[in-house]
Amino acid sequence: MSAGTDARRTVESLLRRLVALSGVERLLISLAALVLAILVGAGIILTSGRVATCTQAAAVYFGLGFCYDPLEVYFVLFNGAFGQPFNPGIMAGNLVNPTWSPFTGPLTFTGPLLTTALFTAGWNPLNFSVALTLKETTLLIFTGLSVAVAFRAGLFNIGTQGQLVVGGLVTALVVGSLVPVLPGGLAGALLLVPVGVLSGAVAGGLYAAIPGALKAYADANEVITTIMLNFIAAQLAFVAVSEFFRNPESQVVETAPLPGYATLSSVVFPQGSDFSLFALAFALVLVGVIWFFLERTSYGYDLRTSGIQPEAAEYGGVDAKRTVVTSMMFSGALGGIGGAVWVLMVMGKWQTGVPALGFDGITVSILAGNNPLGTIPAALLFGTLKSGSLAVQFETGVPKQLVGVLRGLIILFVAMPEFFRAIGTNVVDLDADDSKAVATDGGVTGGDDE
Amino acid sequence: MDRRKFLKATGVAGIAGLAGCSGGPTESGSTATEESAESTSESTEAETTQESTASADSEVNVGMVYALGGLGDKSFNDAAKRGIERAESELNVSYNEGQPSAAEEFPTFQRRFAQSQNPDYDLVCCIGFAQKSALQETSKNFPDQKFMLVDEQIERDNVASYVFKEEQGSFLVGHLAGLLTNQQFEAGAGSTSGDSKKVGFVGGFEVPLIQKFQAGFTAGVEHADENIEVTSAFAGSFSDSAQGKEIATSMYEDGADIVYHAAGGTGLGVFQAAQEQGKFAIGVDSDQSQTDPNYADVILASMVKRVETAVYTSVENVAEDSYNGGELTTLGLEQDGVACVYGQELGSEIPEDVKSSVAESRQAIIDGDISVPTEPQ
């Protein structure tokens, strides 16, 4: 047997092992990847801590001083994302009381065993850092869902970003134009917010129908068209706002701000945190609905079979072209909702320079194995890293670019096994077992010989 | 086993390599201050230098929230940073800084400084007009926190606003560009052809603030010669040097001799294009022939906008208990808030008669004999 086929066999059997993994195993792999990413990141922090110049060492390892302390960075990264539930004092060293012995006191965690309290006194879970983490999580659930739905239908929707931009803009304009004609206060909020979200969904869906139709009726690759439409969306929105819907009182290219009652206000969480529990609840409900829709309805079944085996789906009576368009629209509508929530919850207006939520959604979806339920933990990981990296920027001297590298490493390491698994499902046939294939082969040749 | 040997070898090599690195902390000792002064004087190293974190023993603690281009733009944000560094060395001030990467992060950064107890920030500097709407919220929520805002105005008692007359400085560099494109001029790595009557302007975004630069520049060029054509383009970003290079290259190829940029980090691309094409460029905000010496051979002059003065003055006011909250400070040519500063390398080669007519129009603007438009015609 040649070396080429040998290598191919190895790759195939690796992929097969990946595909065949159980849920628990996948979780364990993700955790191991996280640990590995942290170790590699720590190496990078140490190295750059030697290259950088500073007057005082942040840490000393192996008798060498380093400008940045990896332990501190990762501690702040995860602790800071939740507003420091753990006492930063525990990083000062000598956590365990050296003079403690079983005879001096009872074995308690806050007692004399530890020199400092493990948890921060007076930590309130409803703080700004948690709000920031959850804000990012909420937005990424929408975009992650959007990409996941398209993936399940066998479509690569790279255009969630564009659909989000368009959806957000339409939401801002629709709500902005309805504000003068509708009553204010709670009644206005109950009308305006759902209308805003709905118009965002419709706009995003219609915008995604373009690449869907191009794919179905002109056989244009949706990866290319959706990427291109991202640019078109960003520029169109920019021109539309700067020429026609500009807030005249502002230097920035933005629409006029919406009144407070027309936006998603921060319940429970402190004012000005740009996060609303309603939005998170809505996102979670949407995850459930989409999961049910994909797994338990006949349209969802059609969508999934089109993704796995388009020919079989068509044979089974699915209108393939229509499914492509509708699933793109469905995906785009979710992206549009993401834009609507960004406008209504975070900005209170549409503003140029929309963050790359749609692109992050692709990674969230891969991380989630394209499973709607998986987007929740995947988005939470993203949110934690985002919020935590701001904390690192504030509390340590580590430059923000380096923090970006650490974030990227974690995402890369955690997403890669899932990514290869996603590839593997398309390449490898699970039922064709390695050993069986060899046996049948041998059997056939043996039969010929006889 | 092979693998184990490999791991051991890489481990040892890695640590040995790290030990050999030239950087790292200067071990605690008497030379610490000397070393730190040395390292900050080198701009490349200063970027990686650990920031002096605000501490409790200083008299005044300042929080800096930079504009979106971020530090290292060699222009707007770096100018603000110079202001706070000067305050740090001259007044008993320590500071901490944050670099937001999207507009939606402005409130987070501002609030983070405003609500901090340890240290308690005496002043939060918000650099750039884009922070206005975020600061309107934040300053309302933290009425006891002092803020300062550059490039925009908020009328609230706890916000000191600083704006500049960018059109005046831009008029001067426009006048300079107009005079030079009309004659045969060669210096450094660039030259003007003398026969083409074209200059260019590259802006970050097409917003009123940047249009002030554009309007002043255009008026200055027309002041030199009404027949010179000014082409203007906007990059749509303050941090996209590739885009800046693309725009400037097409302007130079189209016959423009001199391109003026008001685009923050995007402008670095304009300088690259000028070098490749053998033409000239005019910098903005900082003296860019000094902040970016690699391009000193094509930078004729810079329209300096002394953001550092605004930052320093506001910190000084707070340190001396004369904080001017609620007031708007306008810095023009007269207050030396904006100026046309000739390039380090090329400045001496610019003909004296050109310099003197630029100086004349400067005086005329201060005296009110020339009024500079703030919006493009």
In terms of domains, do B174 and B202 share one?
yes
B299 has which bridge partners?
A: B281
Question: Which candidate from A54, A252, A355 shows the least CB-CB separation from B102?
Answer: A355
Lay out the sheet containing B280-285: strands in order across: B229-234, B198-203, B258-262, B280-285, B299-305, B338-342
Domain membership of residue B191 (yes or no) is: yes
- Which chain B positions have a beta carbon within 8 Å of A242's beta carbon? 206
For B80-131, how does the pLDDT look when each residue is reduced to its tens digit (9 = 90+)?
A: 999 999 999 888 888 888 888 888 889 889 988 888 887 889 999 999 988 9
Residue at B71 is within a domain: yes
Asked whether residue B109 falls in the same domain as residue B137, the answer is yes
Residue A448 CB neighbour total at 10 angstroms: 7
pLDDT in tens, A181-200: 888 788 888 899 999 999 99
- Same domain, yes or no, for B76 and B142? yes
CB contact under 8 A, B98 and A393: yes
Interface touch A48/B53, C-beta < 8 Å: no
A272 has a chain B CB within 8 A of its CB = yes
Inter-chain residue contact B101 with A346, CB threshold 8 Å: no
CB within 8 Å: B207 and A53: no
B151 with A252: Cβ contact below 8 A: no
Chain-chain contact of B19 with A64 (C-beta, under 8 angstroms): yes
Domain range holding B172?
A: 166-305+346-367
**Residue B326 to residue A197: CA distance in whole angstroms:** 38
Indicate whether B99 and B235 sit together in one domain.
no
pLDDT value at residue B147: 93
Dihedral (CA of A347, A348, A354, A359) sign: positive
Chain B residues touching residue A54 (CB < 8 angstroms)? 24-26, 49-50
The model's pLDDT over B289-342, given as tens digits with 9 standing for 90+, comes to 988 889 999 999 999 999 998 999 999 999 888 888 888 999 988 888 899 999
DSSP summary character for residue A270: P
pLDDT at B23 over 80: no
Residue A400 contacts residue A318 (beta carbons within 8 Å): no
What confidence tier does A236 reach under pLDDT thresholds 50, 70, 90? very high
Residue B144 above 60 pLDDT?
A: yes
Confidence band (pLDDT; 50, 70, 90) for B16?
A: low
Is the CB of A259 inside 8 Å of chain B's CB atoms?
no
Which residues of chain B make contact with A272, given a CB cutoff of 8 A?
107, 111, 137-138, 141
Per-residue model confidence as pLDDT tens digits over A321-335: 899 999 999 999 999
Contacts of A47 in chain B (CB under 8 A): 18, 21
Both structure tokens of B341:
């500063």
Give the mean pLDDT of A14-34. 83
User: SS3 for A143?
Assistant: helix
Task: Say yes or no: B227 and B258 in one domain.
Answer: yes
Together in a domain, B102 and B120: yes
Name the burial class of residue B37, with classes exposed (0-12), middle (13-18) and buried (19+) by CB atoms within 10 angstroms of its CB.
exposed
Cis amide bond preceding A106, omega within 30: no
Residues A309-339 as b/e (b if ≥16 CB within 10 A, e otherwise) read ebeebeeeebeeeebbbbbbbbbbbbbbbbb
Distance between CA atoms of residues A40 and A411, nearest Å: 13
**Is A70 part of the contact surface with chain B (CB cutoff 8 Å)?**
no
The helix (H) or strand (E) run that includes residue A94 is none
pLDDT band at B187 (very low <50, low <70, confident <90, very high): confident
On whether any CB of chain B is under 8 Å from the CB of A57, the answer is yes
Give the distance from residue A393's alpha carbon to the nearest chain B alpha carbon, in angstroms.
Answer: 7
Q: Do B155 and B170 fall within a single domain?
A: no
B193 and B311 in a single domain? The answer is no
- The answer as to whether B339 is a domain residue is no
A251 closest CB neighbour out of B15, B208, B236: B208
**How far is the alpha carbon of B187 from chain A, nearest alpha carbon, in Å?**
37
Task: Please tell me what DSSP assigns to residue B103.
Answer: G
- Comparing CB atoms, the residue among A46, A53, A353 nearest residue B103 is A353
Contact criterion met (CB < 8 Å) for B207 and A252: yes
Using a CB-CB cut-off of 8 Å, the residues of chain B touching A52 are 23-24, 48-50
How many Å apart are CA A139 and CA A136, to the nearest integer?
5
Domains and CATH numbers, chain A: 21-69+396-450 (no CATH), 86-122 (no CATH), 132-385 (1.10.3470)
- Which residues, other chains included, contact A416 with Cβ-Cβ below 8 Å and sequence gap of 6+? A33
Q: Is residue B103 part of a domain?
A: yes
The chain A residue lying nearest B37, using CA atoms, is A55
The overall average pLDDT reported for chain B is 83
Q: Which of A46, A242, A347 sits opposite B104 (nearest CB)?
A: A347
Nearest to A419 by CA among A357, A365, A372: A365
By the 8 A CB rule, do A164 and A204 touch?
Answer: yes
B116 exposure class (CB count in 10 Å sphere: 0-12, 13-18, 19+): middle
Residue A159 has what pLDDT? 94
* B240 found inside a domain: yes
Q: Could A64 and B18 be called an inter-chain contact, meaning their C-beta atoms sit closer than 8 Å?
A: yes
Tell me the pLDDT of chain A averaged across its residues: 84
Shortest Cα distance, chain A CAs vs residue B182, angstroms: 35
For residue B2, being part of any structural domain is answered with no
Mutation pick from A266, A387, A394, A398 vs chain B, by most beta carbons of B within 10 Å, is A394
For residues B147 and B221, membership in a common domain is answered with: no
Tokens 């929707």 sit on residue: A157
Q: What angle do CA A296, A300, A301 make, to 5 degrees?
A: 80
Longest CA–CA span in chain B (Å) reads 86
- State whether ipTM is beyond 0.90: no
What pLDDT does A111 receive? Answer: 47
Yes or no, beta carbons of B25 and A67 under 8 Å apart: yes
8 Å CB contact of B137 and A272: yes
At residue B160, does pLDDT exceed 80? Answer: yes
Domain count, chain B: 2
B145 and B206 both lie in a single domain: no
Of all residues in chain A, the one with the smallest CA distance to B38 is: A53
Q: Chain A residues with CB inside 8 Å of B265's CB?
A: none
pLDDT band of A211, cuts 50, 70, 90: very high
| DSSP classification of residue A258 | P
Distance, CA of B211 to chain centre: 17
For residues A213-233, one letter each, b for 16 or more C-beta atoms within 10 angstroms of the residue's C-beta and e for the rest, the string is bbbbeeeeebeebbbebbeeb
Our CA-based measurement puts residue A334 at a distance from the nearest CA of chain B, in whole angstroms, of 21
HSE-CB of B1 using CA atoms within 13 angstroms: 3
- Determine the Cα–Cα distance for residues B315 and A181; give it in Å rounded to an integer: 47
pLDDT at A339 over 90: yes
What CATH code is carried by the domain that includes residue B356? 3.40.50.2300
Residue % of chain B over a pLDDT of 90: 39
Q: Rounded CA gap, A116 and A391, in Å?
A: 22
Regarding whether B197 and B114 lie in a shared domain, the answer is no
* CA-based nearest distance A213→chain B, Å: 31
Under an 8 A CB cutoff, do A65 and B24 touch?
yes
Which range (A140-144, A427-431, B129-133, B216-220) has the least confidence?
Answer: A427-431
Question: Are B159 and B205 contained in the same domain?
Answer: no
What is the sign of the dihedral through the CA atoms of B253, B256, B258 and B261?
Answer: negative
Q: Could you tell me if residue B40 is inside a domain? A: no
B contact test, residue of A136, A244, A251 with most B CBs within 10 A: A251
Give the pLDDT confidence score for residue A189 in this predicted structure: 87
Domain-embedded: residue B96: yes
Nearest CA in chain A to B99: A400
Across the interface, whether the CB atoms of B53 and A397 are under 8 A apart is answered yes
